[in-house]
């Protein structure tokens, strides 16, 4: 089964890191493009959206963890 990764995206041009405040999905949950998957704090409160369709497989960071932009947050098993 093919996988994609959701990474910490830059929510504004100068963003270099952020805190994963809360995951809005759990392993096994189905996600679709545009669905909110995490809440991020970095000079404001932002919602990270999925860019793929599939099922949440694994998390690579924890809630309340600060990470750099482009850090892998979770893997998604792609829908067939």
| pLDDT at residue 79 greater than cutoff 90 | no
- pLDDT confidence of 80, banded at 50, 70, 90? confident
- Note the helical H segments in 1-80: none
In contact, 5 and 76? CB cutoff 8 Å: yes
In contact, 69 and 15? CB cutoff 8 Å: yes
Query: Which tens digit of pLDDT belongs to each residue from 29-62?
Result: 999 999 999 999 999 999 999 999 999 999 999 9
Q: What confidence score (pLDDT) does residue 58 get?
A: 96
> Is 26 exposed, middle or buried, given 0-12, 13-18 or 19+ CB atoms closer than 10 A?
exposed
Q: What confidence score (pLDDT) does residue 22 get?
A: 97
Q: Domain residue spans in the chain?
A: 3-78
Query: Which tens digit of pLDDT belongs to each residue from 16-27?
Result: 999 999 999 999
Domain 3-78 adopts which CATH fold? OB fold (Dihydrolipoamide Acetyltransferase, E2P) (2.40.50)
Global pTM value: 0.92
């Amino acid at each position: 089964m093919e996988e994609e990764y959701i990474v910490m995206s830059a929510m504004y041009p100068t963003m270099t890191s952020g805190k994963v405040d809360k995951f809005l999905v759990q392993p096994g949950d189905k996600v679709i493009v545009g669905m909110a998957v995490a809440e991020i704090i970095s000079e404001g409160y932002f919602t990270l959206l999925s860019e793929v369709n599939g099922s949440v497989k694994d998390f690579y960071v924890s809630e309340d963890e600060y990470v750099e932009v482009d850090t892998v947050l979770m893997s998604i098993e792609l829908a067939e």
